[in-house]
A and B are shown apart, each in its own frame.
Chain A
Amino acid sequence: MDTEGWYSVTPEEIARHVAARMYQRLGPNSSIIDAMVGVGGNTIQFASVFPLVFGIEMDPKRVCSILSSCSLLIIFSY
């Protein structure tokens, strides 16, 4: 992960709360755009509640790192 990525990552608890709350307000089958994915801290949490998430990111390297951070989440949550 790059330096900007490290200090910009949203704490997991906050990201989870924001995702749950937004989905609650919008209702079932809603979709969301995560306009600046960054390293994906928010994107992952949106995906765990929203049926459809569009994640937009300028830097392809960051999208690779979000795919591997999925696996990190697995390790910590099991």
Chain B
Amino acid sequence: MAKNNAEVYGVDSHIEFVIGDYTCLAPHFRADAVFLSPPWGGPDYLKQEKFDLTNMPLDGIKLFKLTEQITKNIGYFLPRNTDASQLTQLAGPGESCEIEQNFLYDKLKTITAYYGKLVWAEDNNNNNNNEDAGDVEKK
């Protein structure tokens, strides 16, 4: 029944589900990009002025470093109050990162940080090592 539903939606041939722990499986995967949306540790994240990546249930910095073994093209889905300087540092020296604010009904909900080829500014060869908070998703 579930499989039939997925076929109706037309997506089942595209998704390979793997049951397991990403932190163990990561070295065995190859792909053009990785999307990271780790658990933030419950709604308490908004109580911090700046959300620290190392305070997530999985250390967010270690998780990023692990993912870089697969690809530099990383999308990182995080709380809106995530410490921007931590995100910029993850890009590494001379590399850029783009921090996109995701709005829904005029409210800032989340951010997505992009790395590698996912950075828009890469093609426009602008300054090379700051985040660009320009792109905004609005409904």
Contact B22 A56 (CB under 8 A): yes
Cross-interface CB contact of A33 among B19, B34, B109, cutoff 8 Å: B34
- Chain A residue at minimum C-beta to C-beta distance from B39: A8
Contacts of A56 in B (CB 8 A): 17-18, 20, 22, 25
CB distance from A41 to the nearest CB of B (A): 9
Contacts of B47 in A (CB 8 A): none
CB distance from A56 to the nearest CB of B (A): 5
Contact A46 B35 (CB under 8 A): yes
CB distance from A39 to the nearest CB of B (A): 11
Cross-interface CB contact of A11 among B2, B11, B32, B104, cutoff 8 Å: B104
Give the number of chain B interface residues (Cβ < 8 Å). Answer: 51
B67 at the interface (CB under 8 A from A): yes
Contacts of A17 in B (CB 8 A): 102, 137
A25-B117, A34-B35 known; A58-B20 Cβ under 8 A:
yes
Cross-interface CB contact of B35 among A35, A44, A60, cutoff 8 Å: A35
A53-B15, A74-B9 known; A22-B35 Cβ under 8 A:
yes
- Chain A residue at minimum C-beta to C-beta distance from B104: A11
Question: Please, what's the 1-or-0 string for B17-42, where 1 marks a CB less than 8 Å from any CB in chain A?
Answer: 11111100110010111111111101
A26-B73, A42-B37, A70-B11 known; A60-B19 Cβ under 8 A:
yes
CB distance from A26 to the nearest CB of B (A): 5
- Chain A residue at minimum C-beta to C-beta distance from B110: A14
A63-B19, A70-B6, A73-B9 known; A35-B43 Cβ under 8 A:
no
Contact A25 B118 (CB under 8 A): yes
- Chain B residue at minimum C-beta to C-beta distance from A68: B2
Which residues of A does B touch, CB under 8 Å?
A: 4, 7-8, 10-11, 13-14, 17-18, 21-22, 25-26, 30-38, 42-44, 46-48, 50-60, 63-64, 66-68, 70-71, 73-74
12 contacts between A and B (CB under 8 A): A8-B39, A14-B112, A18-B77, A18-B102, A25-B73, A26-B33, A33-B31, A34-B35, A38-B39, A42-B37, A63-B17, A70-B9
